[in-house]
């Protein structure tokens, strides 16, 4: 296994894009001492975002993307997919084979990135999510990315302290975007709805939110630690003629499962559309 501390000693991680996802990753990487704050440099079109990250994490700020590329050995492409063509044009001249580019741009395939960077940097496509901020992220890495095996290990080791990492074929990354990339928003809606239900039944708002959040977290942990089929876990809670089956009946009438499946499908399709655009 790659020793990430030795591999990145005296090298910089560059973040092109300083939005919420970049901030989540920077926070997790620093909190877990994967590298030191002065080993991270970021650039962004927003002066406000750069100042925020500099103040919050004491990282370096690049004057432009060229400066960031020149200084960095590992570069995260953390911009919106619509901005990728302009960024690739901007950095193509000085992004060569000695650089490792880690893309978290939704919907943008490796072939598009490679076509825009003719000097041939090693490229790994990934999809993390915002719970990486609290070290509970879900990250997918394209196992068939055109990079060295040790590059995949570098990415995996960078991500491991901030959540669970899986390797998949690149053709499945859009589905990951629809599930775990967009998924936190679905879960927050469920959390909010559960808490609202508790409030409707008389619970104080803070109590209802705490109970809802802990219920979601505990249920997920129960599955991850036991790997018991979710349907079986549901049946463990569902007594004949009891409260839970009455609640499940209402969820089925409301189409909860179909709605969540449709949400993942819609987000996946949108990710594909963004890549084509």
Q: In which residue are the tokens 């409030």 written?
A: 199
pLDDT of residue 3: 53
C-alpha span between 16 and 263 (Å, rounded): 29
pLDDT of residue 226: 97
pLDDT of residue 142: 94
pLDDT of residue 146: 85
User: What are the angstrom distances between the C-alpha of 77 and each of 32, 42, 96, 176?
Assistant: 21, 10, 15, 18
Q: Are 40 and 60 in contact (CB under 8 A)?
A: yes
pLDDT of residue 10: 72
Residue 73: DSSP 8-state = E
Structural domains of the chain, ranges and CATH numbers in brackets = 4-173 (3.40.50.720), 183-276 (1.10.3730.10)
Positions of the chain with pLDDT lower than 70, given as ranges: 1-7
């Amino acid at each position: 296994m790659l020793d990430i501390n030795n591999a990145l000693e005296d090298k910089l991680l560059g973040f092109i894009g300083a939005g919420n996802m970049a901030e989540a990753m920077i926070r997790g990487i620093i909190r877990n001492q994967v590298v030191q704050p002065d080993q991270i440099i970021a650039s962004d079109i927003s002066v406000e975002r750069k100042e925020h990250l500099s103040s919050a994490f004491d990282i370096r700020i690049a004057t432009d993307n060229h400066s960031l590329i020149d200084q960095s050995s590992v570069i995260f492409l953390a911009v919106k997919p619509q901005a990728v063509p302009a960024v690739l044009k901007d950095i193509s001249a000085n992004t060569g084979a000695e650089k490792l580019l880690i893309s978290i741009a939704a919907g943008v395939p490796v072939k598009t990135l490679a076509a825009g960077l003719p000097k041939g940097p090693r490229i790994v496509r990934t999809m993390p999510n915002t719970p990486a901020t609290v070290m509970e992220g879900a990250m997918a890495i394209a196992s068939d990315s055109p990079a060295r095996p040790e590059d995949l290990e570098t990415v995996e080791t960078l991500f491991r302290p901030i959540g669970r990492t899986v390797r998949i074929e690149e053709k499945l990354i859009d589905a990951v975007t629809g599930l775990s990339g967009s998924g936190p928003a679905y879960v927050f809606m469920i959390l909010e709805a559960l808490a609202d239900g508790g409030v409707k039944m008389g619970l104080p708002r803070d109590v209802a939110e705490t109970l809802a959040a802990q219920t979601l977290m505990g249920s997920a942990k129960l599955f991850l630690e036991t790997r018991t089929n979710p349907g079986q876990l549901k049946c463990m809670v569902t007594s004949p003629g009891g409260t839970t089956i009455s609640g499940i009946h209402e969820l089925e009438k409301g189409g909860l499962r179909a709605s969540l499946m449709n949400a993942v499908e819609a987000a996946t399709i949108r990710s594909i559309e963004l890549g084509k655009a």
